[in-house]
Structure 1
Amino acid sequence: MARRSKHEYLRVMWQRYQRAGRRERSALLDEVTRVCRYHRKYAIGLLSRAAPPRPPVRRVIRRRPTYGEPVIRLLAEIWAASGYLCGQRLKAALPHWLPWLTRRTAVTPAVEAQLRRISARQIDRRLRDRKRRLKRRLYGTTRPGSLLKQQIPIKTEHWDVRTPGYLEIDLVSHTGASAAGEFLHTVDGVDIHTTWVERQAVMGKSRHGVVQAMTTIESQLPFPLRGVDSDNGSEFIHDHLLAWCQQLSAVIQ
């Protein structure tokens, strides 16, 4: 029986018990001991009270965090130095990284014991916010191009390419540990049929730079460029590259 329904049942039985005679009270006690599985003396004390039974109070036990901020800060330091390992790999690597950590900073025996004891699941949970911030900083450089999407043909199925000249292109950022400021990118073009690769370096993500890189790639190909397949980033979805593709298409035709 659920707690709420049990309390409501006892409240009704208490009201009936207060108004009942001796014989009826005995029958009510029999029913309460059978339904609630109480001892008869406990049921008598419960129904004979001056006030009806109160609902049970749920005690909320708040657990203090097992691993404090100093432990998580040192864990994050090892996580960054190890190349941002996942929880399971970082758990296995912690014993090997602790000597490196103790040479760099003061680590108490209690903190070291907690670092050795922390589970992979706790590692992932306690580093979750740091992972989100790192992902936005490292991988947040591509922005969807909102213009000209209605003018650019979209192909959703696999390309059945049997001739060379159709390039899969992408822009690779070389940011290191920070995406702040200007840095080099590589325009990477791979021919789908022959897997021929051409690459050009671009400073920043300017439209002029990307078009210039595509012009150089097109001139270095050993076959005519017939089509370009890119993602929807604004470095490719813009009017300059669209005009360049249209001009190239007119020359090929």
Structure 2
Amino acid sequence: MATKHEVIREELGRYLAASKRQKGEILDRLEKTLYMHRKAIIRRFRVLQTRKEGVDWTDRRGRSVYYGKDATEVLREIWEISHECCAERLAEIRAEYVSKLKRDGMWKHSDEATGKLLAMSIGTIKSRLSSFDRVVSGGGRCMTKPSSLKEIIPVRRGPWENPPPGFLEADTVAHCGNDASGEFAYTDICLTWCFLKAQMTKDKRPTLESVNAMFSRSPFEWTLIDPDSGSEFVNWHLYDWCLRKRVSMTRIRPGMKNDHGHIEQKNDKNVRKFAGYVRIDDEKRLATWKKLLDRLEVYVNHFLPSMKCVEKFRLNISHFSRRYDKPMTPYRRFMEHPAIPLAAKEKMSAFHETLNPKILHDDILKLCTSPFSSDTNLALRIVRRGGF
């Protein structure tokens, strides 16, 4: 059966030689045959009439696609390994990811596709990322309760003014699922250089043990810890520990999550994105979750870049504009900060050279699916994308 283009081409000669009445009859017949508007048929006749013979007139509308399917697949792999970074952060870290994967023989893409990946502008990366599927989790429960000992510990007010390493915010993330009764796991999380530690309850002593474990493996000295006003932090155990370690302690205003804007964001990106809102209430799941956090802490600190707001100014009564610095990983900020001793930088650099983002990503994915496979919501969330 002839196509519409072929039928119109056959009728072109008769249409050009016909009278006005005959042209109307030809258009009426083609309208019924091709199910096209007569104005569209006339435009087709005009285009065919003006084209030169012997020239291949394929459809050339628009600019040809430069970043094809191969470049998109390369970008998708790097994007998934980077924990679904935004375009600005992904553009800064892509070269290091490619270098690490090539070093370990895990890069399977052609030189042409690799070159296109490294040449992509931020605008192109944004356009491609907008078509990728993202996972959005539901909300959870608030587990913060009123506490005492609030007159001794001062309240911190105002934003951080780019403090040196050692000024940390601290918070807990509950893994209770839909039921807040009984015992279930919590994750302690500290800001700046991200520290993660799992514990079964929100009691004072397990929280103190978690803080002490994070303090012992910190690559820099702690100067101040700034938790929320929950009883797991605001207690005599942690306060006495801070006095012994010569670490200052402040707290935020009760119920004011905006005072903890940095750590609240990390709760979502560094914990909820991986565990979702499943319930962890047995030792087997907790042990697996601890293994996952050990790898996740390294992955976040060494391979997930972040941006810091360096300037904020008011445009009008209700709108602000912000300017951010160049995206950098916590590892890169650690290496470039003048307050960090040279010996600590050399030790951290040697450890960084042994890491591979894809291996860490795959280990996290494996651990993320194994202990929570019985949870329907998380299983569907992981299977739908093939990853966390």
TM-score, normalised by the number of residues in structure 1: 0.41
TM-score, normalised by the number of residues in structure 2: 0.27
User: Highest relative contact order (Cα 8 Å, sep 6+), 1 or 2?
Assistant: 2
Larger radius of gyration: 1
